[in-house]
Amino acid sequence: MKFQKIVLSAVALFTISSAAFAQFQNAEKAVDYRQSVMTVINTHFARIGAVVKGEAPYNKDEVAKNAAVVAMLSTLPWSAFGPGYEGGKAQADVWSDSAKFKAAAEKMQLAAANLNTAAQSGDLENIKKAFGATGQTCKGCHEDFKKK
Ligand code: ASC
């Protein structure tokens, strides 16, 4: 009886902690979440891009706001690429080569943080460089891990 109680408690504890670790109800929700986050990242990144390309005037506060959004959102998609969340446009390599994927994700977050630093300081030349570097991390990861 006592043993059964212990087993039941252990099962209950495991169920509760698994539920806490599983951040999405299912793969479809995870795919939807990461695609949504990347869509918003793209919107704000492209607004900086327009300035960098000379298609829009440089407004320090606007670029700073957009870069802060990109830097903040850059931290979000990765939990939605966890085990069991295969699908969407993600290649199987995201899960089979997760160390490489994690490194690419970290590179992007670091580049986005650097872009944000440049944007807050208001040096357009630095913003241009940091924008280019960030775009390269987006592109590189998509080339390796996104279905064409
Ligand atoms: C974006 C977006 C990408 C990258 C890439 C940068 O806004 O959707 O995939 O930037 O184009 O080179």
Residue of 45, 47, 66, 70 to mutate, ligand 1, most atoms within 8 A of C-beta: 45
Report whether pLDDT(87) > 70: yes
- CATH code of 135's domain: 1.20.120.10
Ligand 1, residues 89, 131, 142: which to mutate, most atoms within 8 A of Cβ? 142
Q: Evaluate: CB of 138 within 6 angstroms of ligand 1.
A: yes
- C-alpha 67/C-alpha 119 separation (Å) is 6
pLDDT of residue 22: 79
Q: Give pLDDT tens digits for 28-86.
A: 999 999 999 999 999 999 999 999 999 999 999 999 999 999 999 999 999 999 999 99
User: pTM (2 decimals)?
Assistant: 0.86
Indicate the average pLDDT of the chain. Answer: 92
> What residues contact 95, with CB distance under 8 A and at least 6 apart?
81, 83, 86
pLDDT at residue 20, rounded to an integer:
52
**In terms of residue numbers, what domain contains 14?**
2-145
